[in-house]
Chains A and B, each alone.
Chain A
Amino acid sequence: MMDNLYRSEEASARGDAAIVVISLFFVGLLIVAFTSNPISTGTQPGERAPLFSGKAYNGTGWQTFVFDDLLTPEWSPNSTGDAPWIAIEFLDTDCGFCKTSAEKVGNWAQQYSSSVWDGPEVIFIAIAVEFVADSSRSEIQSFRDSNEHTFPYVDDLDRDIVDEWEVGGTPSYFLVQPDGIVAWNSAQTVNSIAWDAKTEDVFALTDFTGDNYIELDEAIEQLTKKYGGETQ
């Protein structure tokens, strides 16, 4: 083959053309690489949260819920405005831990959306999945009503959202920046890792309670107020 390459002028033409085309390809790729900073979609800190929509129970009935509608794409750590953060809880109405944590999650939802809270508003969403036993919309409704929650419960009994968000167990919590970037994920291997939107790098949250586990409220306290302490 090498012998043919040395003797064949056709091979030279192909080689010359290949050099031109490969150069063009890499110049194109380099321009794209140097002028953009792509963010992959996923659920680890720093990744863009997967978008979803579905039917959500808000206390009166099941209505269409679109996650994108909560986002503020133009938000940045330096921007001003009242862009809300989003806390997402994945729960199963038959899961014991979800039942025991329901009261504190309800309290957090009240606390971080009230005027007493001096940080940005945090919108809570629950995504009801079916892991343990058969569940139904009526079960979701009674779970929400019995815990006096005020935030919407999204029906994910078919597990579309939970699979895309790669949630392996409940309850799992996520804190999402106003621009849709995952700031913290309770189910990651090292639970304290969070995303710093200013440095665009991960950092470790402080464990206030000393139990070696970061709770959603600890993540909210440290992350939402990180960018000035006031509504961004």
Chain B
Amino acid sequence: MNEYAILSIHGSIILIGVILMTPFGDVLGGFLVNKWPSTATKRGRMLAGLMMVCTGGFTVSAQTLWMHNKLSEGGSVCSGSELLNCDGLIGNPDYNTVPFIGQPWGLLGMVAFCLLLWLAITVAKEPLALSTQTFLKAGLGATIAGLPVIGLLVSYEIKEGLICPFCTAAHIANVIAMVGFILLLRMYESEEWAPELKKTRK
């Protein structure tokens, strides 16, 4: 299968997540509400969107780990263009592992998005728990911590004059997740988080 066809699958997962997090999520939520009742509320849609974005980030990170392995075997997985070229970056031993740890960047991405996904699922399961705010802050902190890492990887791209579309998709997923956690934190501090409680109080 063409690498861009595979990339579009990861991109679709992230895109659905983004739509759920935006006002357009009302429409999409209407289709999902029978299967997932939590998507009836804005909070539910935001969390579902965040989970989709993290899942997309996870799958695209796993794909880059697979590419790392395939390139070590001597193959070529994504070198169709002089600019959009993963082989020159994921296959470059000077850049393709995490400094000090020596593990592929894809593995770090998988771990990071799993952590974010765990935070999102936990908040979704227990939105009124005492730890919710801590979890949202932890998610925000983790995604912000990802920014210097993204900066480092983008510096490699600039240095080599190449763009790795799969890596970029994972970077975008991290940034969207960061925005998602910011919006959720704001929502948590407002009455929108649990409108049902507001009604009960009245």
**Contact in complex: A39, B73 (CB < 8 Å):** yes
Which one of A28-36, A184-192, A206-214, A223-231 is at the B interface?
A28-36
A198 within 8 Å of B by Cβ?
Answer: no
**Contact in complex: B125, A16 (CB < 8 Å):** yes
Q: Chain A 13-55, CB within 8 Å of chain B: the 1/0 string? A: 1101110111011001101100111111100000010110000
Contacts A31-B62, A36-B73, A38-B73; is A21 near B93 (CB within 8 Å)?
A: no
Number of interface residues of A (CB under 8 A): 31
Query: How distant is A25 from chain B, measured CB to nearest CB, in Å?
Result: 5
Which one of B11-19, B64-72, B147-155, B190-198 is at the A interface?
B64-72
Q: Which of A13, A35, A181 contacts B122 (CB 8 A)?
A: A13
**Contact in complex: B121, A36 (CB < 8 Å):** no
Contacts A37-B69, A50-B93; is A17 near B74 (CB within 8 Å)?
A: no
Query: How distant is A41 from chain B, measured CB to nearest CB, in Å?
Result: 5
B126 surroundings in chain A (CB, below 8 A): 9-10, 13
**Contact in complex: A13, B125 (CB < 8 Å):** yes
B98 within 8 Å of A by Cβ?
Answer: no
B85 surroundings in chain A (CB, below 8 A): none
Q: Chain B 97-124, CB within 8 Å of chain A: the 1/0 string? A: 0000000000000110011011001100
Query: How distant is A14 from chain B, measured CB to nearest CB, in Å?
Result: 5
A96 within 8 Å of B by Cβ?
Answer: no
B 17-38 contacts with A by CB, 8 A: none
B110 surroundings in chain A (CB, below 8 A): 25, 28-29
Residues of chain A whose beta carbon lies under 8 Å from any beta carbon of chain B: 9-10, 13-14, 16-18, 20-22, 24-25, 28-29, 31-32, 35-41, 48, 50-51, 73-74, 179-181
25 cross-chain CB contacts under 8 A: A10-B131, A13-B122, A14-B118, A17-B118, A17-B121, A17-B122, A18-B118, A21-B118, A25-B58, A25-B110, A25-B114, A28-B62, A28-B110, A31-B62, A32-B65, A32-B66, A36-B69, A38-B73, A40-B72, A41-B93, A48-B74, A73-B75, A74-B74, A179-B74, A181-B74
